[in-house]
Amino acid sequence: MAFMSSAPAKQQASLRPAAPGAGRPNFAAAQALAKQKAIEKKAKNYKLALGDLALFTQQLASLLNAGLPLVQCLEALQDQTENPYFRVIIRDVRADISSGNSFSAAVKLFPKAFPTLFISMVEAGEASGALAEILSKVAGYFESSVRLTKKVKSAMTYPIAVIGLAIALVNVLLIFVIPVFAAMFADFGSKLPAPTQFLIDLSNFLKHYFFVLAAGCYGLYWGIGKFVATPKGRRVKDQFLVKAPIFGNLIHKIALSRFCRTYATLIRSGVPILRTLEIVASASNKVQIEEACAEITKHVSQGGQVSEVLAANSFFPPMMKHMVKAGEATGNVDGMMNKIADFYDVECEATVSALTSLIEPLLIVFLGVVVGGIVMAMFLPIFQLGAVAGGLQK
């Protein structure tokens, strides 16, 4: 009887509506898991911004100086890092160190996040037992690079924005405004002034072949990019940038400052000179410096001096050659290199300030000539309305 009485109760329970969400997969958890897997996959090839790397290095050096173990320092930095990809990188580096590997071996697994210079400096710090001190030097190097880069970018933002706005404005005038004037001038029945006719022809061309022109510009950009990726193209690009008007001098000084700062930081941290030259060449991103480093490496291996190669290379100014030679004579090459880098940093800041002051009036004149020229060309037939209409002057 008990069995028979319980059967209807079970049937009634099976007919009751299920609780909301019961028996369904947890889509929120699955979505979070998929997102975490995507972050971990991307973190393996994630390129860390130099500013974030500088902050991480400075904080790590400070924690190490406070006496905390390396694993505990990385755990603290992992918790406070907002970048999800970098958080995964720090987690994996910490786990690798906890399993018995060295810090330098752990960061080598993420070559895009940690540049060669950082890895070599960590190796030097581990070998000398002064990891915190060397990381402080690396942080100072990264911070000076970030500071200089920000100043150059901030100086370039205004002219690039103005030139882009001018190009957009001119295209709007040519494609949408000038055709209205062209239709009005067509009723005059007379030959238009040459500037006006040129703008009308250009407007018709852009109106009918704008996408062809855009595709051609993209193809040219793609072709130049492919050419620059070749060794010959890279050489042409670097030589052009250094000799370019207005900005060439600034680019040259930035390259010299980076060369001296990197060299001094590595040598002062105890990195062997041949390894230093290899890292300096890869960090320079300039063909001229890469070739000079290869030549210095060969010359130093044969017992020569760095200043002897610099003296024979026109890329390096005489002042730098003499200071490096003085540093070799006193056994203070890294100190002299640091002074040269400080000098060129100041020169770069002065050049950026001068360019900013010069670019503003040049852009105003440029906009005035372009936009004013278009307006004058379109109103020129109206000013000469009697002659263009062909009825008042014979």
Chunked in runs of 10, what are the mean pLDDT values of the chain (394 residues)?
A: 43 47 61 77 85 90 89 90 89 90 89 87 83 87 85 80 84 83 74 84 84 89 89 88 84 89 86 86 86 90 87 88 88 88 87 81 84 83 61 44
3-state secondary structure of 332: coil
The set of residues, in sequence order, having a beta carbon less than 8 Å from that of 236 and lying 6+ positions away, is 227, 228
Whether residues 215 and 160 fall in one domain = yes
43 located within any domain? yes
Q: Which helix (H) or strand (E) holds 11?
A: helix 2-15
Judge if 233 and 158 occupy the same domain: yes
153 located within any domain: yes
What is the residue whose two structure tokens read 């620059």?
A: 228
Residue 90 lies in a domain: yes
Same domain, yes or no: 150 and 210: yes
Q: Note whether 233 and 374 are same-domain residues.
A: yes
Residue 180 lies in a domain: yes
Q: Could you give the 3-state DSSP secondary structure of residue 244? A: coil
Asked if residue 169 belongs to a domain, the reply is: yes
171: number of Cβ within 10 Å:
12
Tell me: do 148 and 231 sit in the same domain: yes
Q: Same structural domain for residues 88 and 154?
A: no
In a domain, 16, yes or no: no
Does some domain include residue 23? no
CATH code, domain carrying 284 = 1.20.81.30
Provide the domain limits for residue 329.
Answer: 250-336
In a domain, 7, yes or no: no
Q: What is the pLDDT of residue 10?
A: 44
Does 163 share its domain with 189? yes
Is 237 found in the same domain as 159? yes
Q: What is the pLDDT of residue 189?
A: 64
Q: Are residues 225 and 170 in the same domain?
A: yes
Query: Are 194 and 331 contained in the same domain?
Result: no
> Which token pair is 382?
């109206």
Cα(270)–Cα(257) distance, integer angstroms = 20
Q: Domain end: 318, 336, 354, which one? A: 336
How far is it, in rounded angstroms, from Cα 170 to Cα 156?
21
The pTM of the full predicted model, rounded to 2 decimals, is: 0.72
What does the alpha-carbon distance between residue 355 and residue 351 come to, in Å, rounded to a whole number?
6
Q: Which amino acid is it at 254?
A: I
| Residues 237 and 259 both lie in one domain | no
pLDDT at 222: 92
Boundary-marking domain end, from 336, 354, 381: 336
What 269-278 contacts at long range (C-beta under 8 Å, 24+ apart), as own/partner pairs, is 269/121, 269/124, 269/125, 269/128, 269/134, 269/137, 269/138, 270/124, 270/127, 270/128, 270/134, 271/120, 271/121, 271/123, 271/124, 273/300, 274/300, 274/301, 275/120
Number of folded domains that form the chain: 3
- 237 and 254 both lie in a single domain: no
